[in-house]
Amino acid sequence: MKLKPLPGAISLALALTACGGEKSTPTDGASAGVSTSFARLQTQVLESSCGFSACHTPGNTSNSGLVLTGAGVYQSLVNAPATQPIAKADGLRRVVPGKPDSSLLWHKVNGFANGHHARDYGAAMPYGGQPLPAGQIEFIRQWIAGGASRTSDDISPSLLSGTVAAPAYVPLIAPTGGFQLRMIPFSINASSEREVFLYAPVSNTQETWVNRVQTNMRTGSHHFVIYSFAANTPSLVIPQAGIVRDLKNSDGTYQLGTIAAMGYHVFFGGSQAAASDFTFPAGVAMRVPAGTVLDVNSHYVNSTAKAITGEAEANLYTVSASQVQFEAAALNLNNTALTLPVGRDTTIRKTFKFTKLTRVVMLTSHMHKRGLKFVVRISGGARDGELVYQNEAWDHPLILTLPTPLVLQAGEGLTSEVTYRGDASKVVRFGLTSEDEMNIIFGYSY
């Protein structure tokens, strides 16, 4: 199973421009061939880097709602509210004239830079490919800072030339109080996706307690997930440690051994974000038995014309047993009964009941590119039907931490309510690739 974030799939709730004219203007600058800064930005950067893919073309904008080709995009971009959940909560707009730092477009194209901003505004743009050249990023910054004009021509076109200077990947430093899991570097061919697994020992010689999980990934990742195995996993299914296993063979068929192991996976942690960091409440931690081996899973989508490298790490920070009052458990509430009819939106609901008192401290979701909205509601009790989680970014789901735990009594539960966009030509069902669909509530509870 896959996780975003926790970044397969093509994201970018951001901007592109299509020089839309007002009603009194028959054509926009780009379509009329007018040499304006905005027209150059549209044709030489936005359409060529983002509009050519399935991210921002008509019928393929389920998350951003932003078409990056043709007329009318200017109005959809400038002063338009952001749809990325955290950016929306922070009051950002796609483009705020004169204010790059208040413009989600600026954060998205500059998101490859380590430490660019403290807030998590989703996957960097362009998704699944190389970052824009520094000159093109500066062109966008100057255009926004100068007022985001549709008609002026005041930015040097020379900024638009140049090659991509990919930022160096900075791996996580292994914690002094804890352990590190690492997906060793692997290659993803041009215009393809690759999902791999690695059974990796935690290297803990005695039982330990984890109260913080931190992840980090190279550009282009759909997700990085950590799994344990269920207690009833047959010994023949347990993979060999230290060997990278592909989800698919070179001919596109599934590797049966990998599929068999996935059937016994239990979610331990992970994200679709390029970087994530989760800490449990004081007194709460996950128990990790001595000699634990975990299955780390990385999925990359490469939309570029040359091979890229995938790589990821996870740091598991530990506390002494004397500091633990409650043992945490991972939520893994999976609805596999998915059938999406051709050509229309569909909402699918499933309720998961708990058999004992459960305190939820983190919620996140997992769906694929046809997912429009993932809602989680309380089922049962005085708060029956109350919405507790909502995400509209399939490729970079909101990770909702709950400083005050959501307390559910025995017999109460959570309901997933997921709306999907139907494919124009085929029925879509549950499956493991980015072309299939999923419906999973992930999280932590105790």
pLDDT tens-place string over residues 114-155: 444 445 676 677 765 667 888 888 899 999 999 999 999 989
Structure tokens at 263: 């059937």
Q: In this predicted structure, what is the pLDDT of residue 21?
A: 32
On whether both 122 and 249 belong to a single domain, the answer is: no
Helix (H, G, I), strand (E, B), or coil: what is residue 259?
A: helix
Contact (CB, 8 A) for 377 and 388? yes
Does pLDDT of 224 surpass 60? yes
On whether both 228 and 314 belong to a single domain, the answer is: yes
On whether both 220 and 140 belong to a single domain, the answer is: no
- Average of per-residue pLDDT across 158-173: 79
On whether both 212 and 311 belong to a single domain, the answer is: yes
> Does any domain span residue 107?
yes
> Does any domain span residue 150?
yes
Domain span including residue 186: 178-325
Q: In this predicted structure, what is the pLDDT of residue 110?
A: 79
Cα 303 to Cα 166: distance, rounded to the nearest angstrom: 15
H/E run at residue 373: strand 371-379
pLDDT tens-place string over residues 51-73: 445 566 565 544 556 777 777 77
Helix (H, G, I), strand (E, B), or coil: what is residue 403?
A: strand
On whether both 321 and 182 belong to a single domain, the answer is: yes
On whether both 302 and 336 belong to a single domain, the answer is: no
> Does any domain span residue 26?
no
Q: In this predicted structure, what is the pLDDT of residue 3?
A: 35
Q: Which of 10-14, 175-179, 304-308 has the lowest mean pLDDT?
A: 10-14
pLDDT band, residue 109 (cuts 50/70/90) = confident
Domain boundary among 285, 307, 325: 325
Q: In this predicted structure, what is the pLDDT of residue 13?
A: 29
When divided into structural domains, the chain yields a total of 3
> Does any domain span residue 16?
no
On whether both 85 and 104 belong to a single domain, the answer is: yes
pLDDT tens-place string over residues 279-331: 999 999 999 999 999 999 999 888 778 898 999 999 999 999 999 999 999 89
Cα 280 to Cα 286: distance, rounded to the nearest angstrom: 9
Q: Which of 167-171, 249-253, 381-385, 391-395 has the lowest mean pLDDT?
A: 391-395
Q: In this predicted structure, what is the pLDDT of residue 12?
A: 26
CATH number for the domain that contains residue 341? 2.60.120.230
Structure tokens at 182: 């690492």
On whether both 316 and 358 belong to a single domain, the answer is: no
Domain boundary among 279, 297, 325: 325
On whether both 423 and 339 belong to a single domain, the answer is: yes
- Average of per-residue pLDDT across 247-268: 87
Using a cut of 0.75, tell me whether the model's pTM lies above it: no
- Residue with the two structure tokens 């093109």: 136
CA distances from 145 to 26, 152, 193, 207, 254 (A): 28, 13, 37, 54, 49
Contact (CB, 8 A) for 117 and 107? yes
> Does any domain span residue 171?
no
> Does any domain span residue 403?
yes
CA distances from 63 to 77, 349, 387 (A): 15, 20, 20
Does pLDDT of 30 surpass 50? no
On whether both 42 and 149 belong to a single domain, the answer is: yes
On whether both 247 and 308 belong to a single domain, the answer is: yes
- Mean of all residue pLDDT scores within the chain: 82
pLDDT: which is higher, 93 or 126: 93
Please report, as a single letter, which amino acid is at residue 168. Answer: A
* CB neighbour list of residue 146: distance below 8 Å, 6 or more residues apart: 98, 152, 154, 155
Domain boundary among 325, 342, 367: 325
On whether both 212 and 91 belong to a single domain, the answer is: no
For the chain, percent of residues with pLDDT exceeding 70: 82
> Does any domain span residue 144?
yes
> Does any domain span residue 69?
yes
